[in-house]
Chains A and B, each alone.
Chain A
């Protein structure tokens, strides 16, 4: 067994086991930590394929941003996970059967793709002459420029949506309006009113 194979099986097993632990761990914080572990091992698999840029991207985006966000959500929201898990035993037979069907389906179909697909038998080829980033960049900004821009619009819609659905302008909060303060003149604020003695001033 070559070193590559040992590394592959080690990391693949690590990905699968930590994936299982994500759903079975009792403490939700542990779940998120196992999720991070599975992302790390998946990144290791990318390195084995020679796709080191994707590996780094996986760690930066998924571990650095997504998983940490999950961690915040889990810690900040007051969700009773034991309550959520209440029906676990009752739904286990049906859910388990469905899960097994989907698992078998995935295994069969993936084996079929690997054996009979158009890319069967072709190992990914990468050269040391061009770096990963360069190859991805060349494809992304030329061949797939149109789709890249459209993906940008998808993200723009997501951003607008998040703002539309959550941002509230509070009208009852007093805010500083610097323009109004600076442009305020003396005559707007101060008036000289002749006052008779013994009487108050009326507005």
Chain B
């Protein structure tokens, strides 16, 4: 192992890790009064890490535990920027609750460190350690409002089910190690191609189940609505996007590197998860009355589309990257719009409370409308393009039937977004809203502006980048 090269490849992780420790010491001295400066420092660290990642060399470090390739770099930059927005949202949120705690931005920083280990994991231990670092930080963040019963409940549920899923994942990983004799994905692939067997598939199914829990794909989705409803909104906005992106990239890497050449043994499993997810997400969302629970079901459905991209194999990787960036921005916008809506100091949480929003707050209504139309996949908006790429990849991979099922599911899901639009534009408002907080308002406007027309610039810039990043993935 060349330590110098390994250290160079892990510069983004080094920046995040070292700055997290230093900022923690700084925060411990300043106390909770220093949350603003701690947030600012964490933001600077994330920006620095994003730059370091964007300009980093490609290669493998630490005996193959760390893989830096185009996909890893693309995902890292997206995840770090998402973390930055969440720190801004969280700062305002806890300021207004008068509940400043300097650990919040540091935990976000450590969670992004975990995700960054995940997206460039080259062996089973790095997979597990990264996943655990990310989830442990998120369990704490979900329970962050410890005096709020809902938030504690969310944290506990997330923790118990997450621990169960980690158990499944570890069992699968130990079986794969037991059969193949190696932790490294490349070695595992070499063994699997030479000696296919039921035992390895057994391990693989457990591993996929564990990861499916983390991305909340049906039938492992049951924790999602409760956690989304109870956890603080900035945390949910984070948990709905970046960790799932990291886990999906990880899943794609395990399957396409570790089980390269045995696609037939995992493709059906992923397709089953995918179809179940968009059906459960589409149908489950119809009955929801709470805005955040609705978004939880929407996220389950969207994980189905992402899994479809993974099932499509090599051609789906670029689609996966583009899909997740656009999806993360849409969810960020919707959750910050929800944060911006308050009535008599209480957050607007039920969908029927959105009634008549057009008469109260026109800009936010337009933002929510654009974002909702985007998530349901209306043509010129970003959500349409994300689905377009995924279905395109699926058709290219010969998965016609599944792409058609996905289209049907997205038509079902369209209904509940249309219900929100009808309430906002055509119903009578019950009473006035509080003034919307600036940062939540602007992040949701910015996301809406990204959904259209920003997406055109994004695709013009990022389409080639994503295509190039995906070349050579999985070998």
Binding site for B on A (CB under 8 A): 109, 112-113, 116-119, 142-147, 149-151, 153-154, 156-158, 160-161, 163-165
Contacts and interface: CB of A to CB of B under 8 A. Distances in A.
Given A116-B199, A118-B182, A150 B140 contact: no
Nearest 10 CB-CB pairings of A with B:
A118-B181, A161-B140, A113-B178, A146-B62, A150-B129, A117-B178, A112-B199, A164-B103, A157-B136, A117-B179
Interface of B: 1, 6, 10, 17, 20-21, 24, 61-63, 65-66, 101, 103, 106-107, 110, 113-114, 117, 125-126, 129-130, 132-133, 136-137, 139-140, 143-144, 146, 155, 175, 178-182, 191, 195, 197-199, 202
21 contacts: A113-B178, A113-B199, A116-B197, A117-B179, A117-B199, A118-B178, A143-B1, A143-B63, A146-B62, A147-B65, A150-B133, A153-B114, A154-B132, A156-B20, A156-B24, A157-B137, A158-B136, A160-B24, A160-B110, A161-B140, A164-B140
B179 A160 contact: no
Contact of B133 (A116, A142, A144, A157): A157
Given A109-B175, A142-B1, A161 B61 contact: no
Contacts, number: 95
A160 B132 CA distance: 15
B101 A149 contact: no
Given A158-B136, A164-B140, 5 more contacts: A116-B197, A146-B65, A146-B126, A147-B129, A150-B130
A152 to B, nearest CB: 9
A118 B191 contact: yes
A45 B180 CA distance: 24
A96 B239 CA distance: 36
B205 to A, nearest CB: 12
B280 to A, nearest CB: 24
Contacts of B6: 146
A164 B179 contact: no
Given A146-B61, A153-B17, A165-B143, A160 B197 contact: no
A174 to B, nearest CB: 18
Contacts of B197: 116
Contact of A146 (B10, B144, B181): B10
B1, B140, B197 — most chain A CB neighbours (10 Å) = B140
B110 A109 contact: no
B62 A160 contact: no
Given A113-B179, A142-B1, A145-B62, A165 B146 contact: yes
A31 B181 CA distance: 36
A95 to B, nearest CB: 16
Nearest to B3: A145
A116 B179 contact: yes
A151 B126 CA distance: 9
A66 B10 CA distance: 34
Contacts of A112: 179, 198-199
Nearest to B117: A150
B202 A109 contact: yes
Contacts of A153: 17, 20, 110, 113-114, 133
A90 to B, nearest CB: 22
Contacts of A142: 1
Contacts of B182: 118
A150 B129 CA distance: 7
B30 to A, nearest CB: 14
A147 B118 CA distance: 12
Contact of B110 (A116, A119, A149, A157): A157
A160 to B, nearest CB: 6
Contacts of B175: 109, 113
A158 B159 CA distance: 12
A118 B180 contact: yes
A119 B179 CA distance: 8
A147 B133 CA distance: 11
A118 B200 CA distance: 11
Contacts of B65: 144, 146-147
B103 A160 contact: yes
B178 to A, nearest CB: 4
